Structure 1
Amino acid sequence: MAAESSDPALTEDSASLQPDAPASFANAEVPLDALPGTATVNWIPLNPRFARRLQVGALIRAAVFVAGGGGLHAAVLVRNPGIIAESLPWLPAFFWTFLGGFCVWSVVWPLIAVPRRGYVAREKDLLYKSGVFWRSVKAFPFNRVQHTKLDNTPLDRRFELASLSVFPAGGGRGNRVRGLGRETAERLRVYISDRIESGSEPAEESRPVADSGAHSEATGGAGQ
């Protein structure tokens, strides 16, 4: 029976051709209870003047719609009074009922929608919740934000409000948080800009606080 080869040089060459063993890889499961959630977030409500600002804007639009509808109604009745009266007698009543209902709904809706919006600034992101029937919670991580911008319309300035827009890195459409007090929006903008540039833990004095015009108690959950 032939003896097996035991050449040490051959053994070393064979070992050098062996690929390195893969490093150990761990992907442990995370318990569902350990996942962070937004149910315990102390949401900061929007400035209470924001609802009134939306109502004033709705009243202005309603006045424009009513004036335009009145002009259209007069033009149609003057040109074709017989056709409307014979073939579509229900059209004027339907038109004004629909327009009146839409105007009333647009004035009442801010009182329903605005209290269900809120935001909170954390160390690494900004959360914003909105929605009445279809509710959503958006997170804007600071390490993905490229820049921020403040803007306000003449009506916003009348109520001392501003909107904060957050734009992601690499371009794309930004996300806007409306209904902030002008001073609060500027403090949030400075806070986010500092976090983008430094990437360090925020100093205690630089932490944003609730809007000075907001309610003293924030709403208690994302689904409220």
Structure 2
Amino acid sequence: MENFTNETIDTTQLPRFEEVEFSVLHPSYWKVTLINTFFFFLILAIGLGLLLFFNQGLLVFLVEISIAFFLFFFTFLTLSRISFKKKGFAFRTHDVLYRYGIIATNTVVIPYNRVQHVALHEGFISRFFGLANIEVFTAGGSSSDIQIPGIEIEQAENIKQLLMGKIQKQL
């Protein structure tokens, strides 16, 4: 029978994810974000315009509604830009890291031995710019644990192959 031991780990010697150099999203992904934002707000503006057209009583508030709409639009754009600049990803020997956040920066670390499935998605606008998203799934969830947007398609395919290779080695 083997003797059980439970030694204390020196946490100062553990590798620190904060020191990892993250890869940034492709610069063209900002264009994708802008186009998606434009279409979202265009649909919102059309809906607001139809509401104002069919409800004449709201025309009194047209200036206030317009100011609020444009403030919301520019606030959304500013927060999207900050979010874009903070996102990053890294692949290390034993895990994948994804950093995101606006006010608080979050870092997700997933060891390769927990990865169950990897998906590569190309949206309509992203495909036009040659970009894709990588989704990494772990056991026990129906949605992806990490979704890394704004990666060149060739690089995304290489990342998918790397992760699939890591999965195969685990089996």
TM-score normalised over the length of structure 1: 0.69
The separation in 1 between residues aligned to 2:78 and 2:21, in whole angstroms, is 27
- 8 Å CA contact 1:142–1:195 kept in 2: the answer is yes
The letter for the 2-side match of 1:47 is: H
1:65-104 equivalent positions in 2, closer than 5 A: 65-77=44-56, 80=57, 89=60, 91-104=61-74
Contact 2:79 2:102 in 1 (8 A): no
Residue matched to 2:43: 64
- Which of residues 76, 82, 99 in structure 2 aligns to 1:112? 82
Deviations 1:73-117 (A, max 9, x none): 12111xx4xxx58xxx5x333322221112222333332111111
Unaligned runs of 5+ in 1: 1-21, 201-224
Q: Distance in 1 between matches of 2:121 and 2:49?
A: 34
Give the % identical residues.
23
Q: How many residues are matched?
A: 170
Partner of 1:54: 33
> Helix, strand or coil for the counterpart of 1:39?
helix
Matches within 5 A, 1:29-48: 29-48=8-27
1:167 matched to 2:137? The reply is yes
Q: Radius of gyration: which is bigger? A: 1
Aligned-pair CA distance for 1:124: 1.4
TM-score by length of 2: 0.88
Q: 2:150 aligns with which of 175, 179, 183?
A: 179
Q: Are 1:188 and 2:167 matched, yes or no?
A: no
Structure ranking higher in helix proportion: 2
State the partner residue of 1:198: 169
Gaps of 5+ in 2: none
Q: CA deviation at 1:57?
A: 0.9
Shift of 1:54: 0.2
What per-residue deviation string (whole Å, max 9, x for no partner) do you get for residues 29-58 of structure 1? 223321221121011111111111101111
**Partners of 2:18 and 2:10 in 1: CA distance:** 17
- Taking structure 1 as reference, are residues 23 and 149 closer, same or farther at Cα in structure 2, changes over 3 Å only? closer
Aligned to 1:28: 7
Displacement of 1:26 in angstroms is 3.3
CA contact (8 A) 1:59 1:107 kept: no
